[in-house]
A and B are shown apart, each in its own frame.
Chain A
Amino acid sequence: MQFQPMYEGGELFLPEIEFNMTPGQPVGIITDLKRKQLVMNQLAEHAGFYLFRVQQGEYMRLTVEELITFLIHVSERKEHAASLMEYFALKEERKVKIKDLSPSKRVYVTLLRVFFAYQPALVLEEPYFYLEEQDRRQFKRILDDLSREKQLLILTSNLEDALISCDVIYRLNGSGFHPLDIRDSEEDKQDVHKQDEPNITLQKISTKRNDKVILFNPPEIDFIESVEGSILVHVGGENYDCALTLTELEQRLLNFGFFRCHRSYIVNLQKVREIITWTKNSYSLRLNTSQDAVVPLSRSKLQELKTLLNI
């Protein structure tokens, strides 16, 4: 998949993007509203992509069953409406008109249009944003089934939403197009070197931003991530570069209640509010900060975390 670069006001707004899409490996791109539109518009020019935009409406006066029947007929599928209704877990809403559904259910029903797409690649804009927990789970299940045969691309502005069903996630913003390291890797347990004792007395973490050196007290820090080799310290929704490696930081911050929850993340356990379970094998930590931040949690680290927290 390739995108043309786009300029706005003489500045590079959308860099030249290239990535691979294969069935069974959903791709997520975290980006802002405007870049989302630009990406969608470029995709619309190719045949073979089914675009689901956030503005997609629905035939409000049909009942759910009539809508599914219509979609089956118009897309020439062989399935029966009754069995599909069961698959979609919509049996109870069978006779309800779309306009009488709850907002979350209405979006869920509208999203089902992607199920009927014949195109080999599906592109969804913010699929999970308007869904409640229950509908999210249902739709994730349907997307998982779909992604076995189809290429899937999810455009969202929310890391949490991308984490739900994407295996590969990129971040697209003013600084370019970069992959996020969210893979689970058990084999990557690095040997922990015993550091010198005096380090514990050093309390400040020094970071750099716009050529200024900024020092943080460890409790201020929300989490630390490693993006393409550089270390970003997140404090109150902002991020700052740090010259230390994650392993060094882990050593220093161990006594301040920090935890290496993932190969590329260290999280301040004081700020963890929730452990989110997506599937049996994928977890995230939601932080209790001003901005809704979510940090991935490796499966291998879950046990360690549980003993640490005495759960």
Chain B
Amino acid sequence: MSISLKRARAIFVKDYKEFSRNYAISIILVFPILFAFLFRSAGSALPGAIGFLLNTSLVILTSLAQACLIAEEKERNTLRSLMLTPATTLDVLIGKSSLVFVMSAVVLAISTYILGYEPANIGTFTAAIILSIILYTAAGTICGLFSKTVLEASLSILPVAFIFTGAPWGAVLAKDYPVFKVLDFMPSSQLVHLLGLGDTGYTTGDVLKPLLIILAWTVVLTVVSVVLYVRRLKDE
């Protein structure tokens, strides 16, 4: 399957224009920044604020935007029409995902700055965020593929929001119910671990383990979303 930058860029530009004029959806770009202001005024009373902020933003911004972009095309039958053009599956997915990626990266950077969070290691922090954005984009793609309309897409995000953002808290229950230890392997829990590392006194293992788990999630979800995309569109 060939990838053409020209076609992917055309899809990027088209989606950018559509998205920026759809105020009902593009308003979600503001939420992470609003949250950041809220948490900043709370000050140091909330030690886990950055983890909560990033995990929620990744779902309501990254996943939701991607799901809505895909569902809207499905709703209007333009996705099927796109498949009849020379644009390949990867062109379409890359075009859409890169738009969501750029938006998420910019908004997350701004809200991290507003919150005043300073990562222990800027390299690991960036890597973790980049992987997470890709991961949540893939999750959004899957949600979009299972919904027929934009409305359905925004609802299908709820389970994702529940499982992914709830996981770090669920892990607290692990003391009483060992089953919940599984939740510790969710990418959101791992991201919280990474963010919680102090300036000093962490080993390479402390950094590497969360990163590797997030990477594994990213690879699996990306592959699943591409396979599902190809299969779902053939069925219709």
Contacts and interface: CB of A to CB of B under 8 A. Distances in A.
B182 to A, nearest CB: 42
A299 to B, nearest CB: 37
A118 interface: yes
A109 interface: no
B77 A70 contact: no
Interface residues of A, number: 25
Interface stretch (B12-20, B59-67, B164-172, B215-223): B12-20
Nearest to A118: B86
Interface string A45-86: 000001101011111111000100111011110000000000
A50 B17 contact: no
B17 A76 contact: no
Interface residues of B, number: 22
A57 B14 contact: no
Instruction: Give the most central of B7, B9, B76, B85: most A CB within 10 Å.
Output: B85
Contacts of B18: 59, 61-62
B84 A66 contact: no
Contacts of B121: none
Contacts of A178: none
A70 B78 contact: no
Contacts of A62: 14, 17-18
A61 B22 CA distance: 8
Interface string A265-302: 00000000000000000000000000000000000000
Contacts of B7: 73-74, 76
A146 interface: no
Instruction: Give the most central of A62, A69, A74: most B CB within 10 Å.
Output: A74
Contacts of B78: 56-59
5 contacts: A56-B78, A61-B18, A75-B85, A76-B86, A118-B85
Q: Sort A-B residue pairs by CB-CB distance and give the 10 closest, nearest first.
A: A57-B76, A73-B10, A61-B21, A70-B14, A74-B10, A75-B85, A61-B18, A57-B77, A74-B87, A74-B85
